[in-house]
């Protein structure tokens, strides 16, 4: 059965959405960004959006990349600031920043998966396992920090060196240590891990629709995801491993993700799939990606 998940995240709020934009609060600051899935109309007026937004992202008319642009900020808006997230004994502090690709360094809807990751690792440790976790396409490391907070040994893989540096900063801000950092193409890394016969107790996959590896390797989700999942199936512990797969591309459903996972992993055990979302102040529910996750039990 498909589920809708939205986390309780005190430092984040979706204020309003519509006309292909979203107005969000991250900690003490409010941003205005494009959002292709907000197909309805805004509830607040344009004047209210302009008054409330501390930083507004404007797409660049000269760039071929629709994601690239620049931020227009009010005088008090800093280049960098912090948000915090808490769950059980997990206390994360993550640095945000205004990037030229409209991102700010966090996907807050993923906190629903951070909780799941934390709980799975907690359960594994209670059963006597010292979990080894692999986070692929790991970005600024929210899932990495959730896993490390729960006591797992974590390998964090991303092809962009600057993003890995950002992740390390988030680890230090969260008073954690001991993450294994890998700057490499994710598919190349898992191929090598399969050849080495390595195993992991949990795998987190957050693949983009398109991307480039550290040495220019090309990633296209529809072309490469099956091989990636087959490699992950070889790496995941057969008795108690768990996996989280996120898909952000419009048109890719949770059912599609589940079908691909079942083909690669066979019997998956406890299984959940659905959409991650936030509801704005006016009750409009904005979908922000699909997920499929499972946990094997002894």
Q: Quick one: what percent of the chain has pLDDT higher than 90?
A: 84
pLDDT, tens only, 153-167: 999 999 999 999 999
Identify any residues that bridge with 57 across adjacent strands, giving them in sequence order: 71
Residue 101, Cα to own-chain centre: how many angstroms?
A: 16
Q: What is the pLDDT of residues 98-111, one digit of tens each?
A: 998 899 999 999 99
Q: What pLDDT is attached to residue 269?
A: 80
DSSP state of 123: H
Mean pLDDT of 98-126: 96
**What pLDDT score does 1 carry?**
59
Instruction: Give the mean model confidence (pLDDT) for residues 236-260.
Output: 89
> For residues 23 and 50, what is the distance between their CA atoms, to the nearest angstrom?
10
Nearest alpha-carbon partner for 7 in 119, 112, 142: 112
| Overall pTM > 0.85 | yes
- Mean pLDDT of all residues belonging to the chain: 93
Token pair 């915090």 is at which residue? Answer: 84
Structural domains of the chain, with CATH: 2-80 (2.60.40.1180), 106-295 (3.40.50.150)
Q: Is the pLDDT of residue 251 over 80?
A: no
Task: Tell me what pLDDT residue 26 has.
Answer: 98
The two three-digit tokens of residue 109, written as one number: 């809807």
β-strand partners of 5: 276
pLDDT in tens, 166-205: 999 999 999 999 999 999 999 999 999 999 999 999 999 9
| Tokens read off for 187 | 């598919």
Name 296's Cβ contacts closer than 8 Å, sequence gap at least 6. Answer: 237, 238, 239, 240, 241, 242, 268, 269, 270
Instruction: Quick: pLDDT tens for 192-202.
Output: 999 999 999 99
């Amino acid at each position: 059965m498909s589920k809708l998940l939205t986390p309780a995240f005190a430092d984040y709020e979706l204020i309003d959405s519509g006309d292909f934009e979203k107005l969000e609060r991250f900690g003490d600051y409010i941003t205005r960004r494009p959002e292709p899935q907000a197909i309805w109309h805004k509830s607040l007026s344009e004047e209210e959006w302009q008054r409330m937004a501390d930083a507004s992202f404007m797409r660049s008319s000269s760039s071929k990349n629709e994601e690239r642009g620049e931020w227009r900020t009010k005088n008090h808006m800093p280049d960098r600031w912090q948000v915090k997230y808490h769950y059980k004994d997990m206390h994360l502090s993550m640095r945000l920043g205004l990037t030229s690709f409209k991102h700010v360094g966090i996907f807050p809807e993923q906190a629903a998966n951070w909780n799941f990751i934390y709980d799975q690792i907690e359960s594994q440790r209670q059963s006597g396992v010292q979990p080894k976790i692999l986070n692929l396409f790991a970005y600024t490391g929210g899932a990495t920090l959730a896993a490390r907070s729960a006591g797992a040994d974590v390998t964090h893989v991303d092809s962009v060196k600057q993003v890995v540096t950002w992740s390390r900063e988030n680890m230090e801000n969260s008073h954690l240590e001991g993450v294994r950092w890998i700057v490499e193409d994710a598919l190349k890394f898992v191929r090598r891990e399969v050849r080495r016969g390595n195993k992991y107790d949990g795998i987190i996959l957050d693949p983009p629709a398109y991307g480039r590896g550290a040495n220019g390797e090309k990633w296209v989700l529809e072309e490469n995801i099956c091989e990636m999942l087959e490699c992950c199936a070889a790496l995941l512990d057969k008795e108690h491993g768990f996996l989280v797969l996120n898909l952000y591309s419009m048109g890719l459903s949770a059912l599609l993700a589940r079908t691909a996972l079942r083909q690669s992993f066979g019997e998956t055990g406890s299984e959940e799939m659905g959409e991650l979302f936030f509801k704005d102040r006016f009750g409009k529910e904005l979908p922000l990606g699909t997920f499929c996750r499972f946990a094997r039990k002894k």
